[in-house]
Amino acid sequence: MPDQSTSIFERTSALARELGAINLGQGFPDLPEPTELLEAARRALVEKSNQYPPMRGLAELRRAVAAYYRQEQGLELGEEEVIVTSGATEALAAAILAFIRPGDEAVLFQPFYDAYLPLVERAGGIARTVSLVPPRWTLPIDRLEAAIGPRTRLVILNTPNNPAGAVTDRATLEALGTIVARHDLILLCDEVWEGMIFGSARHTSPLALPSLRERAIKVGSAGKIFSLTGWKVGWAVAAPPLAEAIARQHQFLTFTTPTPLQWAVAEGLALPSEWHAAHRARYEAARERLVGGLTAAGYVVLPAEGTWFVTIDLAASGLPADDEAVAERMIREAGVASIPVSAFCRDDPERGYLRLCFAKEDATLAEAIERLAEFRAAG
């Protein structure tokens, strides 16, 4: 049986609560929640149905997902290609269960979101890992080629990457598409952070590439787009044959997702691009605040283009390159919780980096920066 131990996020958050530490470990925001979505949910509770929606999701939401991706990413999708799920993790689970059979192999790029490995193993699959290359966490195509074998069925990509914040560029996706087609594989792409990309970086979905249009599964998350992580409304998007296989698994996982929240998300996705840009700008400001404060305190922060996270290079910052030990000291001595990047790896993990979440109020970040400055100065 795969390891079912409590995740590092739960353990870190529990310790932060116990010690009264500032929690920059787990990725949940404490910025103001979007009133447009809250009001839409309130109205849906009293004005719309609270009974079962269709198993694949409300038609209105599936159309809204397709329209949102047309508006924001130029993708042409049909509602029959969208399966609404109870969070992105359920979409990942349904896709993995649909295409991995016992003994099949899946390639994972590490550092990776912690759900991928246990989901592959729960399906009876075998995970092969390929390490991204710091400091920009680039994807090594030659290592991917070497990891593919006769039993490989699935490649799992995360862009923007959690924890690294790296965005996979179009040229890399083109190379990936060539490999996936040559070996007759499916690409499962976790794109939940697509709405949180900063600066001049741009998100490209594999569904935008002709070589991947029929082979890729796109996973999205309303919780990340709207910073409402507790809503757990997600979706999988794929060409009809793939979507049908995912739906067959979804019906026996959660079957459906709260109906009023589906109505609310459909309204939210229909908001104009200017709304989404303004929402994202609040997080970009918080990112700049944390990066600027850490840099002034002598920390070296790695480049990151997306997500709610930044990564500090411990050795370059004058600290021991032992992420677990430094994280333990940091939460107990400085009162700030972080996540070791090695927790996102299985094989030969990188141990010189810590992940910090910046999706916090100004006062919280200011206090965290002050504590972290004192921690580094003390050695």
pLDDT of residue 2: 44
Peptide bond into 111 cis (omega under 30): yes
**Residue for token digits 């990413």?**
73
pLDDT of residue 76: 97
Backbone φ and ψ of 4, nearest 5°: -110, 25
pLDDT exceeds 50 at position 98: yes
| Rounded average pLDDT over 93-104 | 98
pLDDT digits (tens, 9 = 90+) for 113-140: 999 999 999 999 999 999 999 999 999 9
Q: Tell me the pLDDT band of 295, cut-offs 50, 70 and 90.
A: very high
**Residue for token digits 């305190």?**
297
pLDDT exceeds 50 at position 12: yes
The rounded radius of gyration (Å) of the Cα atoms in the chain is 20
> Percentage of the chain with pLDDT > 70?
99
Q: What's the angle, vertex CA 158, arms to CA 120 and CA 287, rounded to 5?
A: 135
Q: Are 103 and 151 in contact (CB under 8 A)?
A: yes
Q: Is the pTM of the predicted complex or chain greater than 0.85?
A: yes
pLDDT digits (tens, 9 = 90+) for 240-281: 999 999 999 999 999 999 999 999 999 999 999 999 999 999
| Rounded average pLDDT over 46-63 | 96
Q: Are 35 and 240 in contact (CB under 8 A)?
A: no
pLDDT of residue 4: 53
pLDDT digits (tens, 9 = 90+) for 322-348: 999 999 999 999 999 999 999 999 999
For residues 34 and 344, what is the distance between their CA atoms, to the nearest angstrom? 30
pLDDT digits (tens, 9 = 90+) for 146-168: 999 999 999 999 999 999 999 99
3-state helix, strand, coil in the chain (%, to 5): 45, 15, 40
**Quick one: 269 exposed, middle or buried, by C-beta within 10 A (0-12, 13-18, 19+)?**
buried
Query: H helices within the chain, ranges in order?
Result: 8-19, 35-47, 59-73, 88-99, 116-122, 141-147, 170-182, 222-225, 240-250, 259-269, 273-296, 323-329, 362-378
**Chain length of the chain:** 379
Mean residue pLDDT across the chain: 95
Q: Are 311 and 160 in contact (CB under 8 A)?
A: no
CA 108 to chain centre: 14
Nearest alpha carbon to residue 287 among 304, 273, 275, 300: 304
pLDDT of residue 1: 38
pLDDT exceeds 60 at position 287: yes
> Percentage of the chain with pLDDT > 90?
93
Nearest alpha carbon to residue 360 among 62, 127, 16, 86: 16
pLDDT digits (tens, 9 = 90+) for 163-206: 999 999 999 999 999 999 999 999 999 999 999 999 999 999 99
Q: Tell me the pLDDT band of 3, cut-offs 50, 70 and 90.
A: low
For residues 137 and 165, what is the distance between their CA atoms, to the nearest angstrom? 9
Q: Are 100 and 120 in contact (CB under 8 A)?
A: yes
Backbone φ and ψ of 214, nearest 5°: -95, -5
For residues 99 and 200, what is the distance between their CA atoms, to the nearest angstrom? 35
Average the pLDDT over each of 23-32, 70-79, 195-204, 307-316 and give the range with the smallest value. 23-32
For residues 212 and 237, what is the distance between their CA atoms, to the nearest angstrom? 13
For residues 83 and 91, what is the distance between their CA atoms, to the nearest angstrom? 8
